[in-house]
Amino acid sequence: MSVSGKIASIKDVALAAGVSVATVSRVLSNGPVSDALRKRVEDAVRATGYRPNLSARRLRSQHSQTIGLVVSDIRNPFFTAVSRAVEDAAYRAGMRVILCNSDENPEREELYLRLMQEERITGLIFAPTRAMLDRLDGLDLDFPVVLIDRNAPTGRHDAVVLDNPRAAALLVEHLHAQGYRRIAGLFGNTSTTGQERHEGYQAAMTVRGLTPAARFLAPHADAAEAAVVEWMGQRDRPEAFIVSNSLFLMGVVKAARRLKLTIPDGIAVAGFDNEPWTELVGPGLTVIEQPVQDIGQSAMALLFERLEAPDRPSRRLVLGGTCVVRGSTAARMADAD
């Protein structure tokens, strides 16, 4: 409560701090800002008496102070890390989180969306399947939705995504520079993420005069292992694999061991998500490191902004990845077959 007796809003904080509402949201969700800017906003929060965990609009409609979080596969370390970032931001805002794992199953997604309605959540952070994305705009939901890791075709909902085409192209560029030419790709078949990474891979291969060779698989390590074992039995077998998630990385490593192939001499591999185990396997695995902390925090910041300004235009934040080069993509010997 401010000195005037009026309930302070996030706009009051922004005015007092001399910053934008988006900057206040980033500070409240512990997003990336300078120390000096963070102090200005925090001082303004104390001066105005703003309560970041309370939204008068939501209280009047009797919504709970609960964030829903539906991820596609909690076994995927990427979603584990993003979930942690979301929960941390929610905790700082005095809110709780309901976490659900859809296992890339549209029927389970529908079940969990009904659950979120029944729980009267304040807002939802969602990594939907491609099938659900096609239907999302037509659903009658009484809470705002922020998408993570998935792009909606209409752009109606706020979203935080990686620049997937560019990230996949970085891997092709790196492998090509290391002397690899027969570069195969394994991509998930249930999400827009796999589709976008395939597009980046295909474009980067084509511009270099290389022939793309891609397969779309269910996002499980066993599926990737089976595909690699079968592929490596062919006459013109790949020299290297690019894979679209860390579960596929595990599958390629398992296939290499099963075939008694060393990495990278027998098979080179690069993929996504800089998990701790990726630097411990063989010579270490080359990966795209995603800014998972920023993804989770930015999603919460967008959700807070949406609660304060329900009618504002949707925003889509596209974040960059970093290529972490390790021994799994060491330079190919000129006389290798």
Q: Residues in the chain with pLDDT < 70?
A: 1-7, 30-31, 51-64, 334-337
* 1 occurs within a structural domain: no
- Report the greatest alpha carbon distance in the chain: 79
Kindly state whether residues 68 and 78 are assigned to the same domain: yes
Kindly state whether residues 156 and 247 are assigned to the same domain: no
Strand partners, 231: none
- The range of the structural domain enclosing residue 77 comes to 64-162+292-320
Return the CATH number at 31: 1.10.260.40
Kindly state whether residues 192 and 253 are assigned to the same domain: yes
Kindly state whether residues 191 and 173 are assigned to the same domain: yes
Kindly state whether residues 168 and 273 are assigned to the same domain: yes
Kindly state whether residues 307 and 283 are assigned to the same domain: no
- Alpha helices in 178-331, H assignment, sequence order: 192-207, 221-231, 246-258, 292-308
* 195 occurs within a structural domain: yes
Kindly state whether residues 14 and 86 are assigned to the same domain: no
* 2 occurs within a structural domain: no
- Residues written for the chain: 337
Kindly state whether residues 75 and 36 are assigned to the same domain: no
* 337 occurs within a structural domain: no
* 59 occurs within a structural domain: no
* 269 occurs within a structural domain: yes
* 336 occurs within a structural domain: no
Kindly state whether residues 248 and 286 are assigned to the same domain: yes
CA-wise closest residue to 221 among 257, 260, 196: 257
Which pLDDT score is estimated for 190?
87
Kindly state whether residues 172 and 107 are assigned to the same domain: no
Kindly state whether residues 302 and 282 are assigned to the same domain: no
How far apart are the C-alpha atoms of 96 and 311, rounded to whole Å?
A: 25
Which pLDDT score is estimated for 6?
59
For 126, phi then psi, to 5°, come to -140, 135
Number of domains composing the chain: 3
90: enclosing H helix or E strand: helix 77-92
**Do the beta carbons of residue 212 and residue 206 sit within 8 Å?**
yes
Which pLDDT score is estimated for 268?
98
**Do the beta carbons of residue 85 and residue 295 sit within 8 Å?**
yes
Return the CATH number at 83: 3.40.50.2300
Kindly state whether residues 174 and 152 are assigned to the same domain: no
* 5 occurs within a structural domain: no
